[in-house]
Amino acid sequence: MLPAMPADEPQPTSGLELRTERLRLRPWRAEDRQPFATLNADPRVMRYFMSPLSRAESDALADTIQAHIEQHGWGLWAVEVPGVAPFAGFIGLSAPRFESHFTPCIEIGWRLGARFWGRGYATEGALAALAFGFSRLDLDEIVSLTTVSNMPSRRVMERIGMLRAPADDFDHPMLPAGHPLRAHVLYRKSRPGSTGPQPGAAGAIISRT
């Protein structure tokens, strides 16, 4: 099941906030723009994307992300690490803007600054986002995708319990034929069938800002 997002109905103007043991996943603020632009200009962070982003491109992406959160109440939340950094990147849920054999769908994704790698933040935040998608959005399935060579993100997908079937691999339609990043893998996770706690649910607190 996909969440209904009718354009003609009143929508939330402030998003939900997720909290884990170490992270705060929250709506975006104006002061997030500069560190987000720095992150998006870093070749290490953007290694598995077409190219680093200019400041204008980064701001446009932030506008799109925040507009979705304001309209629907969820999305790619800004990540704050209390006591460590007011902005570390984003983690959350989105709907791919292209057609493939697995769309329409809801995707889980993340992008963190390089200095926040290797600390388990992506896994911790992604588990909270998964739990939110299954329990609050009533999703039947959540997917994640990346280029074949992006092993760091693939390891996060595996750590949060997502599974890949080689038959799901695909060429990303928004990348040109022959591009080295065009070949993509798809990971899936279905709603847990047990009556036990959702993945990550024990460590996630949901509040409305």
Task: Quick: pLDDT tens for 108-161.
Answer: 999 999 999 999 999 999 999 999 999 999 999 999 999 999 999 999 999 999
- Residue from 28, 24, 33 nearest 14 by CA: 28
Residue 192 has a pLDDT of 84
Domain residue extents for the chain: 16-145
Cβ-based neighbours of 132, under 8 Å, separated by 6 or more: 16, 18, 74, 93, 204, 206
Residue 14 has a pLDDT of 53
Extract the residue ranges of the chain whose pLDDT is less than 50: 1-13, 194-205, 207, 209
How far is it, in rounded angstroms, from Cα 94 to Cα 167?
A: 23
Residue 191 has a pLDDT of 92
pTM: 0.86
Residue 196 has a pLDDT of 35
Residue 16 has a pLDDT of 84
Domain 16-145 has CATH 3.40.630.30: yes
**How far does the chain reach from its first CA to its final CA, in angstroms?**
26
Q: Are 50 and 174 in contact (CB under 8 A)?
A: no
